[in-house]
Amino acid sequence: MGSLRHLRATPRTLLGLLAATLALGTAARAEAAALGPVNVTPSFETAGVIVQLTGDSGNETVTVDVKGPKDADFHPAHAAVLFEPHAFATSLFELAPGTDYTLRITVADPDGVTGSATQMVALHTRAEPTLPVPTRVRWVGPGGSDAAGAGTTKAAPYATPGYALSQAMPGDEIRVLAGSYAAVSADGTHGTEALPIVLRADDPAQKPVIDGAMAGSSLYLNDAAYVVIDGFEVRNGGDDSGGHGVYLRASSHVTVRNSFIHDNGHDNVLISKGAEFSGGPLLGGFHLIEGNDIADLVQETCTGGSNTACPGQTYYGIKQDNNPGGGTVIRKNRIRGHDDNTSPCGDEDSGRELADGSPVLALVGAGPWTNHDLEIYDNTFEDARDDGMELDGICVNARIYRNTIHNAQNPFSAAPVMPGPYFFVRNLATGNWGDAGFKMNTAGNSAVPSRHVFVYQNTFVRANQGPALHLWYAVEGDHNVPIHDFVFRNNVFATPMGGVCTNAYNHGAEQPSFDGNVWWTTDTTQIFSWWNGASNDKYDTFAAFQTGASQEAHGAFGEPGLGADFAPVMGSLVVDRGVLIPGINDDFAGKAPDVGAFELGGTGPMPSTSSSGSSGAGAGGGAATGTGATSGSGGGSGGSGGASSDSGSSGGCGCVLSDRDRTSPATALFSLFALAIVARRSRAGRVALK
């Protein structure tokens, strides 16, 4: 194209140039962004932030800073991402429950900003729940009567929990005596935030049994609000194809806790259609699933792919689907033995067509979806035939942190995930894996990428031989979905029994970003594989991988030096080696953040390496025992009539040990090798539960 000096400066031309210049100036002014509404979803130790813009053209950035009651000044949260047109999202971590914070939201736009570029927003985190003194108490027990006048005393109870719920008023506490009850179904049971309706075991040591007896659902709540379910055994709901244990449909703020939920058809816990809640689509969800033992105990050996359940096996431990709602918290549970131990984002098929830049959330005024601010933390996931934690589907601000995943085909699955952001922070993945530590492969629309996934400060230690990480996405044919904005920082990837560090099957135009990670294998050749845009390069050394792939500028290769609890010991390779990630690891001990899920000498929360969840003993049940481990809170149990092993979970309190309490580096590798033996024994022990 010619330069301006080649143009004839006729009056018509000059007028045209002047008009074009004025038009450009008008366009620039029109593109100046302005801060719109800010949506904050507080949780107990975290919060989600969604910032809307107006007048934006896509070249803006949004930053979020936070200040707590003990902070001298603001400090940055994790960078916000543009997850849909006109809306950015990020999450805050390491907050305190029931505490006031101030957020400073700032927009920057090269085209200018209309109005104030900064907005201050108040945040109050959720306080740990406590139940108020009930306004009245009602009773349910064997031999009772579902009739007017019954239920007012322990000696003359109602006969069924379902009837008691149908008569309940805000502030009621329904105490259920030990015994066995038929499936429960309730519609329109509404408490309030100040006066919830509580359905609980009268004696926590003797869990009342709700037996679905092959009904569609064992415990079904439709259009419920502010209901607490506490201390039950829930079993036998429906068949493999469609039965449910606890089914929360079109409901809001339901708590399910301290219960043994097992062997229920297709899903042990199903949360669905939160957008149909009678109080409005944006109030659906916000459930709390905590302290439960959620298990499949009767699975049979079967052939076929890992994503095909065995006959009699409950496919999902916890499943959210069909616009389940926002803000649900899944914490402190033990979830074991399913095909997928949890699948909480939902709407996977719709997500496969959710192109980057599509409107998503109803709360920002454009999209039909409500799946935001899911939170999964402090859980133990064991023995998944397919995925320990399947995040496939639609989520905005999904936070997955401080969990322990032991034995799975894939500890984590992100295949496909959209629009994000997804945060995987300080999780521990151990045991035998069928594939590798983090799954990205999926089939779908090749124009719709999985996107905005941040994998920070996790520890992946494989007990059996095989790859630490599959780079498997954007493959022509069955796994053709590409990825966008996948970031791996400060993770440990170790496969001490042998296996490549990365195994590349991808053909994509975009690869993940790796930095600050520590890699380890006992193999010595072709330990890294990387797609160079035309073919897969194989690297025998970490240095060659760094240079050839232009990755891991601050990473390292070598035995990480972890103790039996998978935390670093003095002199570990991972200590003070990580890169700083604002909003994630600011509160580190030493010269720099450590790599992996644990911080040596740190005081912050870390993943537990022992089982959590309610004891599942029920009538006639026994307490759990650990295989070379200290049991965690509640421990979990083997169900009626027997004890369960702890599936090889490593011992420890989940706290940060002092230096003298840690295993020395000389014994650390031996501990990792021993995991393979423990894992095999734990599998054998679990079969005895059938």
**∠ CA 472-476-482 to the nearest 5 degrees?**
50
Q: Return the domain boundaries, the chain.
A: 34-124, 129-343, 345-612
pLDDT at 239: 86
User: Which contiguous run of DSSP H or E holds residue 486?
Assistant: strand 483-489
pLDDT at position 300? 67
What is the average per-residue pLDDT within 533-562? 97
- Which of the two residues, 18 and 238, has the higher pLDDT score? 238
Specify whether the CB–CB gap between 347 and 360 falls below 8 A: no
532 secondary structure, DSSP code = -
For residue 217, which of 88, 314, 144 has the smallest C-alpha distance? 314
User: What's the pLDDT at 285?
Assistant: 98
Domains 34-124 and 129-343 share a fold: no
73-82, 304-313, 509-518, 670-679: lowest mean pLDDT where?
Answer: 670-679
Rounded to whole angstroms, the Cα distance separating 401 from 404 reads 9
Please give the average per-residue pLDDT across 645-669, as a whole number. Answer: 31
Can you spell out the DSSP letters for 92-117?
Answer: E-S--TT-EEEEEEEEE-TT-BSS-S
Q: How confident is the model at residue 302, as a pLDDT? A: 77
* Per-residue pLDDT at 75: 97
> Residue for token digits 């108490």?
137
> What is the average pLDDT across 663-689?
36
Encode 555-592: b = buried (16+ Cβ within 10 Å), e = exposed: bbbebbbbbbbbbbbeebbbbbbbbebebbbeebbeeb
Q: What local confidence, expressed as pLDDT, does residue 609 receive?
A: 58
pLDDT of residue 406: 97
**Residue 30 pLDDT class (50, 70, 90 cuts):** low
pLDDT at 87: 97
User: Strands, DSSP E only, in 420-482?
Assistant: 422-425, 428-433, 438-439, 450-456, 459-461, 469-471
Cβ(85)–Cβ(357) below 8 Å: yes
Distance of CA 128 to the CA centre of its chain: 20
pLDDT tens digits for range 101-117: 999 999 999 999 999 99
Where residue 540 falls among pLDDT bands split at 50, 70, 90?
very high
Report pLDDT digits (tens) over 381-398. Answer: 999 999 999 999 999 999
Checking if the pLDDT of 665 tops 50, the result is no
| Domain 34-124, CATH homologous superfamily name and number | Immunoglobulins (2.60.40.10)
Helix (H) or strand (E) holding 13: helix 11-30
CATH (one of 3.30.300.20, 3.40.50.2300, 3.40.50.300, 2.160.20.10) for 129-343: 2.160.20.10
The larger pLDDT score, comparing residue 642 to residue 412, is at 412
The pLDDT tens digits for 253-293 are: 999 999 999 999 999 999 999 999 999 999 999 999 999 99
Under the banding of pLDDT at 50, 70 and 90, the label for residue 653 is very low
Phi, psi angles (nearest 5°) of residue 14 = -65, -40
- The answer to which of 24-33, 134-143, 366-375, 622-631 has the lowest mean pLDDT is 622-631
Are 86 and 365 spatial neighbours (Cβ–Cβ below 8 Å)? no
Which of 539 and 681 is assigned the larger pLDDT? 539
Lowest mean pLDDT: which of 541-555, 589-603, 644-658? 644-658
Tell me the mean pLDDT in the region 15-44.
66
Range name among 188-192, 195-199, 321-325, 659-663 with the lowest pLDDT average: 659-663
Q: What is the mean pLDDT of the chain?
A: 85
Q: What is the pLDDT of residues 174-192, one digit of tens each?
A: 999 999 999 999 999 999 9
Residues in the chain: 690
pLDDT at 642 over 70: no
In one-letter notation, the amino acid at residue 21 is T
By the 10 Å C-beta count (0-12 exposed, 13-18 middle, 19+ buried), 89 is classed as buried
**pLDDT given for residue 23 in this prediction:** 40
Q: Report which of 388, 397, 382, 394 is spatially closest to residue 320, judged by C-alpha positions.
A: 394
pTM over the 0.75 mark: yes
Spatial CA neighbour of 40 closest among 377, 324, 373 = 373
Percent of the chain with pLDDT over 70: 83
